[in-house]
Structure 1
Amino acid sequence: MSLSSVKAAAQAMAPKVATKSVVGAAARVLRGNVTKVGKMDKTATVCVDRQVEHNLTNKLVTRTTKLLVHDPTNAMQEGNSVIIKACRPLSKRKHYVLDSILDPTKHQPVPKPSELRIPIPKKRS
């Protein structure tokens, strides 16, 4: 046997080691709607909807999960539809980072009740 055939046989018998790109290839990507922005710097609250089959009725029920998302540029606005990606834990509850914003101008936030009130003019005496 030649030296090259011995090396080839040793490489074939050696255990395969996963590379770094293979291990992290299946990152969790979710789509959700921004519900709260501006309370914390570089952080937003995103609601992600999922459908689950009910045990008794066998109907699909919508469940909502609130996630804290890291927004490094403070680009998210309330009402935006966004794509978020899982990352290492950045704080106690923040485990996702903003990937992209879908239709930033299409979604407008719902006005708060205090903004809808029309000021009543005072009577002149």
Structure 2
Amino acid sequence: MPKRILEGVVVSDKGDKTVVVVVQRTLLHPVMKKIVRLSKKYHAHDEANAFKEGDVARIRECAPKSKLKRWEVLSKDTPASAS
């Protein structure tokens, strides 16, 4: 079974080897028929402490690493349009 991969913005990097990532998603409200934005915070394992606040991170599901950490960050990619 493939693991889920989400993308979001790092809002906290204060914990050792841990980052908090906010993932936003949009959906159509069933009654109001308006687009609604929802966000959720995920605690993710960052072994190298590579991600800083404001970075865009991709996270994927993993086996539980602690009480809150059920996700891990994928390796930091270099931006393709860095010139």
Q: Identify the TM-score tier after normalising by the shorter chain.
A: 0.7 to 0.9
Which one scores higher on RCO, CA 8 angstroms, separation ≥ 6? Answer: 2
- TM-score w.r.t. length of structure 1: 0.59
| Equivalent residue, structure 1, for 2:45 | 70
| Equivalent residue, structure 1, for 2:10 | 34
Highest Rg: 1 or 2? Answer: 1
Distance in 1 (alpha carbons) for counterparts of 2:10 and 2:77: 11
Task: Supply the RMSD in Å over aligned alpha carbons.
Answer: 1.5
Q: Map 1:1-125 onto structure 2 (within 5 A).
A: 24=1, 26-38=2-14, 40-102=15-77
Distance in 1 (alpha carbons) for counterparts of 2:43 and 2:78: 20
State percent identity of aligned pairs. 35
Distance in 1 (alpha carbons) for counterparts of 2:44 and 2:5: 12
| Higher helix residue share | 1
SS at match of 2:16: coil
| Equivalent residue, structure 2, for 1:21 | none
Unaligned runs of 5+ in 1: 1-23, 105-125
Q: How many residues align?
A: 79
8 Å CA contact 1:52–1:60 kept in 2: the answer is yes
